[in-house]
Amino acid sequence: MSYPHHTLFLDRDGVINERIPGDYIAHWEDFQFTAGTLDALAFFAKHFQRIVVVTNQQGIGKGKMSLEQLQHIHEKMATDIAKAWGRIDGVYHCPDLASVPNNCRKPASGMAWQAKAAFPDIDFQRSVMVGDSLSDIEFGQNLGMVTVLIEGKMDEIDQIAQAVNNGLRIDHRFNSLQDFAQFLRKTLPQ
């Protein structure tokens, strides 16, 4: 049985792993999966044809980490997810600083188009974007995806509320990726 949506797009920090407020995860030793995420990803692997990560990583642009360090983190992340019966089909990152004009950071759609180039069967209209920030939700909405907000990014509560008042659509809100998986377990036909 599969979910009617084909592709699951996931933000990384604050969704798959714990965020470090005001800092960057530059070493695998700093990476900690959020509670229940490995189980949730094992469930999603059975119900989505594609699972991709799209993550803004301006720590590279700021010189806080190297591309090699980021790649190492993503390799270890994917390995641990696979060991728990989940999967990640692709990881796309943007190293640009937020201050760079025309950067590739979400809400810009460049990482989504990179994923579609790798997996031409991706249909944004049949995709879900799960993130914890305003830019994640705008990214999903701009591409016509179902949007899922993982609540908890305290520094954006007012911005998100203002954006909703101005027409931003958030289709679902959950406290964690695990809670989203639980919701799907209850709503999918058995």
Active-site residue numbers?
Answer: 11, 13
Q: For residues 131 and 109, give the distance between their C-alpha atoms in angstroms, rounded to a whole number.
A: 14
At a CB cut-off of 8 Å and minimum separation 6, what does 189 contact?
1
Helix 67-83 to helix 37-47 angle (10° resolution) is 80
List C-alpha distances in Å: 122 to 10, 18, 48.
Answer: 14, 28, 11
First to last CA, the chain: 7
Collapse the DSSP code of 58 into the 3-class scheme (helix H, G, I; strand E, B; otherwise coil) and give the result.
helix
- What's phi and psi for 13, nearest 5 deg? -65, 125
Question: Between β-strands 127-131 and 90-94, what pairing exists: parallel, antiparallel or unpaired?
Answer: unpaired
User: How many other β-carbons are positioned within 10 Å of the β-carbon of residue 15?
Assistant: 27
